Amino acid sequence: MTGAGTNSTQPKMEGGPAIVLVRPQLAVNIGMCARAMANFGLSDLRLVAPREGWPRTGAYRKGAYAAAAGAVHLLESARVFASVEEAIADLNFVYAATARERGQGKTILLPRAAMDDTAARMAAGEKHGVLYGPERTGLDNDDVALADAILTFPVNAAYASLNLAQAVLLTAYEYFSAARGQVAPFAAPERSPPAQREMVLSFFEFLEGHLDERGFFRPASKRPVMQRNLRNMFHRMGLTQQDVRTWWGVVVRLVEGEREQAGKIKDE
């Protein structure tokens, strides 16, 4: 199953820090982590001693692949290691993702600062990774001791436990933003150019003429203020040429009534 935003015609992005899931327990969470990675172009998924092994089979495999929602290629290319030491052996810098202060004297960074640094250092040729612990317990102290720094999230202190895939998603987003910039993937189309002042003023005269005929500008002493307020309302819209034509048509229909249908006999 793939999501509505999936576009198979686009090339798959690769790179980013290694995402190292330490002793993951649920197949569905591994699949959701793969999906989060694919959202932001990360491609190095590493599993350390996953419960019940990997690759999964039967219902476990089905659950992981369904949760991946199209990011199956990351599940199929995931590497499995027996220990954290083996999983991070080729990395130059490792973060341990944890919600608790461990008293190990390590630098503690939020995702934005951490991924800004990681993006810059990976662009220079380094290899970085982030450790995430088991769903129920998180990383143990020995796992954290293998990392260079702690990565933590600014969350509600009364409920600081993040779902595994959520933690991966937040990290991946900050890396993507740091490496590629905060650029929207698409922009609203400009369907009509801005209306010329002559066009706008002509519409104002048309509208105000009909309002005047129906006694809108009363009392007469307030007409200048009412007129300015009305015009400023339209100016704040940033009217396009199509907007003016549409508003003109609205006023025409209100004034003239229902348009005669094609082929309809008036005295029917």
Shared domain for 90 and 175, answered yes or no, is yes
For residues 165 and 42, is the Cβ–Cβ distance under 8 A? no
Shared domain for 143 and 73, answered yes or no, is yes
Share of the chain above pLDDT 90, in %: 68
Of the three residues 180, 215, 240, the one that is the final residue of a domain is 180
The residue with greater pLDDT, 127 or 264, is: 127
Shared domain for 102 and 219, answered yes or no, is no
Q: State the pairing for strand pair 79-81/45-48.
A: parallel
The residue with greater pLDDT, 196 or 105, is: 196
d(CA 203, CA 54): 69
Shared domain for 65 and 160, answered yes or no, is yes
d(CA 115, CA 177): 9
Name residue 100's amino acid. R
What's the token pair of residue 85?
């030491």
Number of separate domains in the chain:
2
Question: What value does the mean pLDDT of the chain take?
Answer: 89
For residues 111 and 174, is the Cβ–Cβ distance under 8 A? yes
pLDDT in tens, 36-78: 999 999 999 999 999 877 877 777 788 888 899 889 999 999 9
User: Which pLDDT band holds residue 1 (cuts at 50, 70, 90)?
Assistant: very low
Q: What is the pLDDT of residue 8?
A: 61
- The closest alpha carbon to 146, from 83, 96, 79, belongs to 96
DSSP letter (8 states) at residue 79:
E
For residues 68 and 75, is the Cβ–Cβ distance under 8 A? yes
Q: Is 118 helix (H, G, I), strand (E, B) or coil?
A: helix
Distances (CA, A) of 25 to 61, 164, 222: 13, 10, 73
Does residue 192 fall inside a structural domain? no
User: Which pLDDT band holds residue 221 (cuts at 50, 70, 90)?
Assistant: very high
Whether the predicted pLDDT of 6 surpasses 90 = no
Shared domain for 168 and 221, answered yes or no, is no
Shared domain for 131 and 234, answered yes or no, is no
d(CA 160, CA 154): 8
Residue 41 half-sphere exposure toward CB, CA atoms < 13 A: 15
Domain ranges, residue 71: 18-180
Does residue 7 fall inside a structural domain? no
Shared domain for 214 and 165, answered yes or no, is no
Shared domain for 206 and 97, answered yes or no, is no
Whether the predicted pLDDT of 102 surpasses 80 = no
Of the three residues 180, 211, 237, the one that is the final residue of a domain is 180
For residues 163 and 31, is the Cβ–Cβ distance under 8 A? no
For residues 195 and 237, is the Cβ–Cβ distance under 8 A? no
Shared domain for 53 and 176, answered yes or no, is yes
pLDDT in tens, 104-144: 889 999 999 999 999 999 999 999 999 999 988 899 999 99
